[in-house]
Structure 1
Amino acid sequence: MLGILLIYFIGKRFYDLAEEYNQNKWLYAILGVVLYYVSSFVFGMLIALLDIYVFDWGIDWDNNFGANFIGLPAALLALWGFYMFLESKWKKSVVVVKDEIDDIGKNIEDI
């Protein structure tokens, strides 16, 4: 149940960001959720390989609840990084429309 809420809020956050910058809303909402799962999986696999072959931490991999929490910080960090990347990229590409009718009759230097 908590996973469904997390998916909702991740999708909603990216949906709102895309809507604010006039981008494809559903694409970025779904992309945010997919990024969460992929980054969680990759980090979990990395920790599992390090546990088995290098450090022998003795993590209980049969415990699904604990295994989900291992990938959670990396997934949230990846989401935050992707969100900041998209926001900065889209802020640079925003075109500010200036109302030029107010500038009629003014000198070019004053504009």
Structure 2
Amino acid sequence: MLGLILLYWIGKYFYKLAEEYNKSRWGYAILGIVVYYIGLLVLGGIVVGIVEIIFEGFIDSVNDVLLSFIALPFGILSCYLLYKYLEKTWKNNDPRKNNMIDEIRKIEE
């Protein structure tokens, strides 16, 4: 249940960001959720693998819920990084921000 709430919030923030910059809202909401799972699996798997190398047999003795909580911050971090990247990129390429014509007019006056 907690995971579904987290997925809702991730999708909601990506949906709002895409809506603000007139991009595909549902596409980017789904992209945010997919990036969450990729970050969860890849980065969480790397950390769990390193811990398994250092402490042999650790994974066998740990509860599955605890493993998911260990990997959770990596999924959230990957979503946050993608969100900030998209926000920065879209803000720099926003045609509403480009007021070069107005600036040329001010220089001539």
- Bin the TM-score by the shorter chain: 0.7 to 0.9
Matches within 5 A, 1:1-111: 1-53=1-53, 55-56=54-55, 58-59=58-59, 62-96=62-96, 109-110=108-109
CA distance in structure 1 between the partners assigned to 2:81 and 2:107 by the alignment: 42
Q: Is the 8 A contact 2:44 2:72 kept in 1?
A: no
CA distance change for structure 1 residues 22 and 70 in 2, over 3 Å: closer, same or farther? same
CA distance in structure 2 between the partners assigned to 1:18 and 1:85 by the alignment: 13
- Under a length normalisation based on structure 1, what TM-score does the superposition of the two structures give? 0.81
Q: After TM superposition, where is structure 1 displaced by more than 2 Å over at least 4 residues in a row? A: 57-62
Q: 1:51 deviation in Å? A: 2.3
User: For 1:76-110, what per-residue CA distance to the aligned partner results, in whole angstroms no more than 9, with x for missing partners?
Assistant: 11111100000010011111276x9xx8xx87623
Structure 1: 5+ residue runs without aligned partners?
Answer: none
Q: 1:21 deviation in Å? A: 0.3
CA distance change for structure 1 residues 109 and 3 in 2, over 3 Å: closer, same or farther? same
- Under a length normalisation based on structure 2, what TM-score does the superposition of the two structures give? 0.82
CA distance change for structure 1 residues 81 and 61 in 2, over 3 Å: closer, same or farther? farther
CA distance change for structure 1 residues 45 and 109 in 2, over 3 Å: closer, same or farther? same
More helix by share: 2
Higher RCO (C-alpha under 8 Å, 6+ residues apart)? 2
Computing the radius of gyration from Cα coordinates, the structure with the larger value is: 1
CA distance in structure 1 between the partners assigned to 2:41 and 2:108 by the alignment: 57
CA distance in structure 2 between the partners assigned to 1:73 and 1:67 by the alignment: 11
Structure 2: 5+ residue runs without aligned partners?
Answer: none
Code of the aligned partner of 1:109: E
Give the secondary-structure state (helix, strand or coil) at the position aligned to 1:22. coil
- Aligned residue pairs total 104
